[in-house]
């Protein structure tokens, strides 16, 4: 590991989150420390020093901090969702979504939800998880061009809209992914998960997450496409037409973990299984 940077600052307050020239945010570092330092980055600002509560749940719903580790997500919301008919059964897919990442236990202990979302990799299963749960990301925006150290405000963006392409995320320089919020109404809804990879422990190449609800089950596709896509699928015909449409837009993703054609076929199969399981019309 060759980490060629000059400084690491631990953020303790919001003012500390204002980036100085050459700085980038650090979550768990499992990606940043496994790759060459991104061009132009000379310093890191460690967000884990902010001391955010990893997750909380109340009448408004579930909040998960950007610094919540995958291990904490599993032990908290994942455990809440363990009962198949409880008030948090929508969280029943948390465990599968965490397992869909090809992480060792050691990496999962430090990798964060915010880091996974901010990377925007097709195999970033936190995207499929929170998109399926209609979560909104709360983003802290940096101060506008005044140079003041007082940060400005925040904005909200649907997680489904946050990732715009493979490794492309709608975060402007200096924006912090503070937390994701899952609305209370969604927590009790039935959800399901399917994934495919070329080998049993291989990187996720197609992932389908689904949620029962009105007006029809919502099916979300990730990993086989560059950016998440969702549909309220009334029936299997509608689902087929949508999957054909995805193909017509050239959106299927391809890399060493699976060809376009295979991912398209897997996605179609998994999406139909998902709709079946969620009780969609034939
Ligand atoms: C063995 C191994 C297997 C992996 N498998 C997968 C996989 O299957 N799928 C996958 O998606 N990834 C995978 N990864 C990549 C990575 O570990 C995960 O995506 C992880 O969730 C990243 O989180 P992190 O906190 O470690 O991010 P970091 O490495 O700390 O940061 C990643 C990026 O996000 C930015 N960032 C971090 N937190 C925030 C925040 N709160 N707000 C704004 N920007 C932020 C950083 O500036 C950086 O650009 C793997 C990594 C390893 C080492």
d(CA 158, CA 274): 22
Q: Residues with Cβ < 8 Å from 139, sequence gap 6 or more?
A: 154, 155, 156, 157, 171, 175, 176, 177, 178
- Left (φ > 0), alpha (ψ -120 to 50) or beta: where does 22 sit? left
3-state secondary structure of 119: helix
Q: Pocket of ligand 1, candidates 66, 116, 167, 256: which has the most ligand atoms within 8 Å of its Cβ, to mutate?
A: 116
Residue 145 has pLDDT above 50, yes or no: no
For the domain made up of 190-277, the CATH class stated in words is alpha beta
Q: Which of 27, 71, 206, 257 to mutate to test the pocket of ligand 1 (most atoms within 8 A of CB)?
A: 27
CA-nearest of 263, 243, 245 to 253 is: 263
Ligand 1 — pocket residues by CB below 6 A?
24-32, 34, 47, 66, 101-103, 107, 111-112, 114-116, 118-119, 121, 123-124, 171, 176-177, 203
Q: Which ligand 1 atom lies nearest to the CA of residue 118?
A: 34
- CA dihedral of residues 70, 164, 198, 113 (deg, nearest 10): 0
pLDDT of 3? 73
> What mean pLDDT is reported for the chain?
93
Q: Please indicate, yes or no, whether the overall pTM of this predicted structure exceeds 0.85.
A: yes
Strands 206-211 and 191-196: antiparallel
More confident site: 85 or 165: 165
| Domain 54-186 of CATH type 3.40.50.740 | no
Q: What's the average model confidence in pLDDT over 47-61?
A: 97
- Residue with CA closest to ligand 1 atom 14: 31
Q: With b meaning 16 or more CB within 10 Å and e meaning fewer, what string describes 43-68? A: bbbbbbebebebbebeeebbbbbbbb
Q: How far is the CA of 24 from the centre of ligand 1 (A)?
A: 13
pLDDT tens track for 149-185: 555 699 999 999 999 999 999 999 999 999 999 999 9
Residue 29 CA, ligand 1 centroid: distance in Å: 7
């Amino acid at each position: 590991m060759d980490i060629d940077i000059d400084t690491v600052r631990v953020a303790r307050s919001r003012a500390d989150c204002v980036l100085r020239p050459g700085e980038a945010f650090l979550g768990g570092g499992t990606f940043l420390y496994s790759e060459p330092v991104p061009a132009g980055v000379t310093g890191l600002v460690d967000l884990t020093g902010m001391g955010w509560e990893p997750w909380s749940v109340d009448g408004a719903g579930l909040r998960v901090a950007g610094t919540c580790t995958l291990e904490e997500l599993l032990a908290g919301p994942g455990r809440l969702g363990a009962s198949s008919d409880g008030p948090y059964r929508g969280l029943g897919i948390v465990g599968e979504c965490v397992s869909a990442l090809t992480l060792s236990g050691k990496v999962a202990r430090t990798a964060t939800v915010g880091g996974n979302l901010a990377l925007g990799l097709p195999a970033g299963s936190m995207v499929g998880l929170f998109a399926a749960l209609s979560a909104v990301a709360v983003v802290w925006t940096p101060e506008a061009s005044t140079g003041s150290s007082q940060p400005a405000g925040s904005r909200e963006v649907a997680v489904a809209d946050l990732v715009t392409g493979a490794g492309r995320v709608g975060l402007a320089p200096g924006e912090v992914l503070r937390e994701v919020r899952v609305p209370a109404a969604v927590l009790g809804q039935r959800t399901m998960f399917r994934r495919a990879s070329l080998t049993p422990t291989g990187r996720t190449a197609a992932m389908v997450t689904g949620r029962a609800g009105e007006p029809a089950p919502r099916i979300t596709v990730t990993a086989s496409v560059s950016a998440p896509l969702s549909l309220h699928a009334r029936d299997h015909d509608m689902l087929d037409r949508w999957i054909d449409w995805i193909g017509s837009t050239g959106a299927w993703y391809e890399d060493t973990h699976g060809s376009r054609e295979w991912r398209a076929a897997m996605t179609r199969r998994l999406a139909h299984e998902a709709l079946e399981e969620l009780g969609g019309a034939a």
